[in-house]
Structure 1
Amino acid sequence: MKFSSSLKFNAVAEWWDEYIAYEALKKLIYQLEKQKAGLQESYHDLEANERTSLIGAAPSGFELTNTDAFFIPLLERELKKVCLFYETEEQRLADEVSALQQEVDSQEESGPYAGHQFADGEDVDEEYEEDDDFDLHSPIMSRDRTQSPARQRRRHSRSVSSAGPGVPSGSRRKMDPKARRYSLSSDEQDDLEASTASLDPIAGAGRGTSKSPLVRARALASKLRDSIISTSSAGPETVWTARNNYAWDMQLLFKRKITNLYVLATSLRSYVELNYAGFRKILKKYDKVTDSNLQDRYLHDVVEQATPFQQTSKDKLNNKISLLIDLYARCVTRGDPVEARRQLKLHQREHIAWERDTVWRQMINQARRGEDGGAMMMGGTLIVEPEPEKGLLNLSTPAGRIKLTTKQLYLVAAIVVFVVLLNIDYIDGAEANKCFAILVFATILWATEAIPLFVTSTFIPFLLVVFRVIRDADGNALPPPAATKHVFSVMFSPTIMLLIGGFTIASALSKTAIDRVLVTRVLSLAGERPSTVLLAFMGVACFASMWISNVAAPTLCFTLIQPILRTLPPKSKFAPCLIIGIALAANIGGQSSPISSPQNLIAIGFMEPQLDWGSWFAVSLPVSAISIVLIWLLLLVSYRPARSPTGDSDIEIKPVRAPREKFTAKQWWVTFVCLVTIALWCVAHSIQDYIGDMGVIAIIPVVLLFSSGVLKKDDFDQFLWTVVFIAMGGIALGNGVTNSGLLEVLGDGIRELISDMELYPVVLLLSAIVLVISTFISHTIASVLLVPIAKEVGKNMPGGDYSNLLIFITGLICSTGMGMPVSGFPNQTAATQEDEMGQLYLSNVDFLKNGVPASIIAAMVVATVGYLLMRAIGV
């Protein structure tokens, strides 16, 4: 999580304006970067389209040769704001803790029955009932109240009725138990009156005849209980251990007071920690962007010497927190500090869950429901929800408003086609006929995304079982119980475990920042020539896609190129060239390793025998390298990125700086686990007698990285489980196509088409079909649909079984379909990249002019060079 997001989520909402202005300082740093690059622009906040109060115009005559002289005063301004707020809140906390300690001591001196006394002829219990914050002995909570005539009459009437006729109110202090009767429950009143009768013979004689045997039994039990408690107690009875109503009220009152102060104290401590992290982060970013060396000396000489960040201030705050824990132990937990600490931390967590979780979630849900125009302010940032999809039909009827969207129309069409196909016999075999209907139904939903892709995949096992598509070895339809066991047993295959192992490696590399360290170190060697920088980024995007998936790799690269994009001249052609180059290279990287994309794993799962990693790399690495170089040349010809927008000079690229941090022990551990796992995958065939399958090897990184604490449960929850379910649904559908007999029917038709064709023409025909389909639908879904067909085609080829070869080619070409903005996640991410004015870098023309030729080039490389390499290694 970025620090700006962490700051917004962890900050106290009421104190938001008192934290370091991290976002404003970061935008200023980017403006300074532009100034140093020679782009003369004002300090206008282009991202927010406003001028922030933090960033003013540079002083007249000021030259940005020394950006420290301009940046340090802004840091000092923020530091002064933080110090002033902290000192104010710390003083308020100190006063309230001191007053609270005096209240606790005063209550202990007054004893457990102070609430039954009266001062200056006023009814204290009446006053206590009117205001639960009132405390007779509190120097802070007692208040000067002005009594209205109606309230005085009400108190006088209660005084006379409770004391009896002719008894003045001032003499009621002798009848203390009855004075609080109105605040007790009926059972407590009976117990209290019985106890009073035993202590006061006159009162007991006057009221004893009106008590039933049940009431007397209750009173006796109450006396016995109180005597046992008082006998077993370690010391004299206090207001914190007494069992009367007043003592309980005081315990609850002080529990609330101490808890509120504890939450305030811990929030203030968190305020200090967050602001220190903010200064450290912003100084680190400043040093990185401006190539300065300000962080260490400013943190040590200025920030750490400020009042909030001094060790003495931290000790004072911790001492107050310890004092509150001690007071809580005295007043609530009978002197147990461990239990007091546990309860206070529980209250703190509940407070955080309410203020920083529930409140934010309510605001987000409010925006998602479309209130406030779909926009909201969260921590000073405007969040705008996308407009809902416009309907094709929007009618108002007596039963309500009917709205039909494009996706709903696709869903209705898919259902209609499914029902029609189920009731038409056009394929031999009832199971094959129903399986074809399911295949067409799923294909329409996958291609149109009428419902989420993983939902369609999850629905497939239901259809296979309910419509009795699965057959046994004798060709008879399996009953639903047996079919259920069969379908679910094939869904979680070794391929799925291999996919989870790949997610684990990718998550560990990303969490420990190994991916960023390696990428930036390589890019730091690229130099300043646009053509070299473009090739370096494409190579890095391809390599990163091999290990952290072609979903995360382009996102990482697009983050790393922001410093370059910010310093380019307006309308420079290098920006769109670089963005589309990264996207195309990430797609190519999707074919480079077995775990870089789900389509590769699906292909390996259908191979018999499965291909090991060494054989895969022997083909994929040369194919990917040649494809990257050819696409790089295509982009150079298409964009001519080295020329400036005016055409009068060549642009210079700001080099990427290598990180200065050294590898930590955790990073070395992750590197070791990843290298061992990959090495075992490469020699999986040699050790299959011991490990069985590559899916078993995938358990190694899961166990080692999660058990060592590198990854947590939250990291496991954030895996791309939708991709897992898509793959599982595809495996189930492929098994259904095979077991229903549909694949045999398709095989007969395919044999007729290719009966007179040689192997290589079949390769070219299959490559063209796969490329077209993978361009318009998800690469994973394309492999789900086409890999079983490729396997059947390969089995029916004259002259031998070429199923593994055609499956391999199909899996590689699925990653080359990248001619449209929607062709794969890298293209979708690239299509959303915007400049500072909110203008998109790429248009559909960029993808048609560059993506389509790049797709054809990459597919031809697979069908030529890849084919020759596969034949050379014996696939």
Structure 2
Amino acid sequence: MVEWKKMLFCVICFVVVMLMPIEWIPLAGINIVQQRLLAIFVLAALLWVLEPIPVFATSLLIISLLLTLISNQGLAPAISAIQQQDPALLLHYKSIFAAFSSPIIILFLGGFALAVAATKYELDINLARVLLKPFGTQPKFVMLGLMLITAVFSMFMSNTATTVMMLAILAPVLSGLPDEDPGVRGLVLAVPVAANVGGIGTPIGTPPNAIALQYLVGEHSVSFGTWMAFAIPFVIVMLAFAWVLLQKLFPTQSAEVKVNIDSKFRRSPQAWIVYITFATTILLWLTTKLHGMNAYVVAILPLTVFTMTRIITKEDLKKFNWDVIWLVAGGIAIGAALENTGLASSLAHSVDYSVMTVFWIIVSLAILCWMMANFMSNTATANLLMPIAAAMATTLSASGQLEDVRLLLIIVAMSASMGMVLPVSTPPNALAYASGKISNGDMAKVGIIVSSLGILILLVVAKLML
């Protein structure tokens, strides 16, 4: 009954935003499509947070509402009002369905292929044995090792690809713990947290960093070493805090974590194909600048090799987490709709920065960036807000109010990476949720606490440096 009450509340909020007079919405120049999308966005946010229905079902509902209410092939009575106002406002239905074939979806499928093949041929057990052995068997140190390895890899390769690899390594570790042990949830959550935070450490670790660098040119350019000198201390503090927090929230009931130390690498031809393909994929992810293929293109290669060599069969394909594919597709669809309709831009420009001091401009941009990144791609969020931040920084620098424009842009870029509250917030979050070991509530609890501290630290640093 409680779930029905939550659902009813969500629906009422949706209807209220959908039907309220458009002039009541405090966004300049908003149109009917943007109003309907805002209603869908509010519904999605409430459903993802309150979870009266499964999160993947929310994603399918989002796509259905986008198609029926604001697409050019939507329900006739629903779109007639839009056609009378301006038919060009309608989204093309193919652009919404494209969420199911996004490069990110292919990245997930490639990741699932690596995970299934690694488990089938015990590569994950052996990797866990090799990489985690130096950290001993105490759960807290195993978690520390897991987070450090994940964070370091995420600094130099896609954090999604890193998460795929680390969850594969974690699987045999979890098999040695009872499912009801809270420590299992802590270990699983440690991977996406470390992946999200670790990517901040280098200019190439996450797309928002690279986007910021596009605006940091000439006398304001930032070298690789300078970025790391600023970001690595932040990453270390965040990882240390997250490590302690996860142990407090999810204390393990086990005295030690044992991995099957006696396991040996298999020597069969198919096992060698798995080893070589796994290593080649990781190497290609690490050396994108050398060969030109991005993480999404590389991800389809293991899927192709494993299916061609029958390492992954039809039965193995059924083991893929298809509910996560739907979950991610919904996040992609609403993120693209926010961008294509101009609603995201309207939200970004809804704050009047001209009446604020430099510090409060940084505060508002950081918080707005964090909030938007929780519900849409942090890359899309950075693309939307970075031009605003760059323009503000240039204006403030010219007037003598801001000594170094790099501060503002780097803070905004890092704030985008703090969007880690929901399964749809980042691919690492979605992959961890796909393990089935954690709930939406577990992720939200950790995400809110960790990201809030991260934003607070960034703002304190900004205040001290102004």
Q: Give deviations 1:223-277, integer Å, cap 9, x for gaps.
A: xxxxxxxxxxxxxxxxxxxxxxxxxxxxxxxxxxxxxxxxxxxxxxxxxxxxxxx
User: Which runs of 5 or more structure 2 residues have no equivalent in the other structure?
Assistant: 154-158, 200-204, 215-223, 395-404, 424-428
Q: Write out aligned runs for 1:709-728 (5 A).
A: 709-728=310-329
Q: Write out aligned runs for 1:132-171 (5 A).
A: none
Contact 1:457 1:725 in 2 (8 A): no
Asked if 1:443 is matched to 2:51, the reply is no
Amino acid at match of 2:276: F
Contact 1:422 1:434 in 2 (8 A): no
Contact 1:519 1:540 in 2 (8 A): no
Distance in 1 (alpha carbons) for counterparts of 2:47 and 2:109: 25
Q: Secondary structure of the residue that 1:728 maps to in structure 2?
A: helix
2:400 matched to which residue of 1? none
TM-score w.r.t. the length of structure 2 is: 0.64
Alpha-carbon deviation of 1:718? 3.1
Contact 1:517 1:659 in 2 (8 A): no
- Bigger Rg, structure 1 or 2: 1
1:478 matched to which residue of 2? 88
Q: Secondary structure of the residue that 2:437 maps to in structure 1?
A: helix
Asked if 1:454 is matched to 2:54, the reply is no
Asked if 1:587 is matched to 2:192, the reply is yes
Cα separation, partners in 2 of 1:739 and 1:630, compared to 1, 3 Å: closer
Asked if 1:677 is matched to 2:277, the reply is no
Q: Write out aligned runs for 1:642-721 (5 A).
A: 653=256, 656=259, 658-664=261-267, 665-688=269-292, 691=293, 693-721=294-322
1:794 matched to which residue of 2? 386
1:627 matched to which residue of 2? 238
Task: Indicate the larger mover: 487-496 or 707-716.
Answer: 487-496
Contact 1:526 1:532 in 2 (8 A): yes
Contact 1:551 1:826 in 2 (8 A): no
1:839 matched to which residue of 2? none
2:417 matched to which residue of 1? 812
Asked if 1:417 is matched to 2:16, the reply is yes
Cα separation, partners in 2 of 1:727 and 1:804, compared to 1, 3 Å: farther
Cα separation, partners in 2 of 1:795 and 1:491, compared to 1, 3 Å: farther
Distance in 2 (alpha carbons) for counterparts of 1:684 and 1:671: 20
Cα separation, partners in 2 of 1:799 and 1:558, compared to 1, 3 Å: same
Which one of the candidate residues 366, 383, 406 is aligned to 2:5?
Answer: 406
Asked if 1:753 is matched to 2:353, the reply is yes
1:362 matched to which residue of 2? none
Q: Secondary structure of the residue that 1:663 maps to in structure 2?
A: coil
Amino acid at match of 2:87: A
Asked if 1:503 is matched to 2:109, the reply is no
Asked if 1:784 is matched to 2:376, the reply is yes
Contact 1:535 1:632 in 2 (8 A): yes
Amino acid at match of 2:271: Q
2:334 matched to which residue of 1? 733
Distance in 1 (alpha carbons) for counterparts of 2:62 and 2:213: 24
Distance in 2 (alpha carbons) for counterparts of 1:498 and 1:534: 26
Q: Write out aligned runs for 1:155-554 (5 A).
A: 391=1, 405-421=4-20, 426=25, 427=27, 428=29, 429-451=31-53, 452-462=57-67, 463-465=69-71, 466=74, 476-478=86-88, 483-489=92-98, 492-527=101-136, 532=141, 535-536=144-145, 539=148, 546-548=162-164
Count of equivalent residues: 401
Alpha-carbon deviation of 1:861? 6.8
Contact 1:454 1:725 in 2 (8 A): yes
1:559 matched to which residue of 2? 175
The alignment's C-alpha RMSD in Å is 5.3
Distance in 1 (alpha carbons) for counterparts of 2:171 and 2:132: 16
Q: Secondary structure of the residue that 2:262 maps to in structure 1?
A: coil
Contact 2:139 2:256 in 1 (8 A): yes
Structure number with higher helix proportion:
2
TM-score w.r.t. the length of structure 1 is: 0.38
Cα separation, partners in 2 of 1:461 and 1:681, compared to 1, 3 Å: farther
User: Which runs of 5 or more structure 1 residues have no equivalent in the other structure?
Assistant: 1-390, 393-403, 566-574, 595-599, 610-614, 646-650, 775-780, 833-842, 868-875
Contact 2:197 2:418 in 1 (8 A): no
Q: Give deviations 1:195-240, integer Å, cap 9, x for gaps.
A: xxxxxxxxxxxxxxxxxxxxxxxxxxxxxxxxxxxxxxxxxxxxxx
Amino acid at match of 1:829: K
Q: Give deviations 1:156-178, integer Å, cap 9, x for gaps.
A: xxxxxxxxxxxxxxxxxxxxxxx
Contact 2:63 2:96 in 1 (8 A): no
Q: Give deviations 1:275-327, integer Å, cap 9, x for gaps.
A: xxxxxxxxxxxxxxxxxxxxxxxxxxxxxxxxxxxxxxxxxxxxxxxxxxxxx
Cα separation, partners in 2 of 1:730 and 1:587, compared to 1, 3 Å: closer
Q: Secondary structure of the residue that 2:277 maps to in structure 1?
A: helix
Distance in 1 (alpha carbons) for counterparts of 2:368 and 2:304: 41
Cα separation, partners in 2 of 1:584 and 1:762, compared to 1, 3 Å: farther
Amino acid at match of 2:88: L
Distance in 2 (alpha carbons) for counterparts of 1:485 and 1:406: 34
Cα separation, partners in 2 of 1:703 and 1:583, compared to 1, 3 Å: closer
Distance in 1 (alpha carbons) for counterparts of 2:288 and 2:45: 34
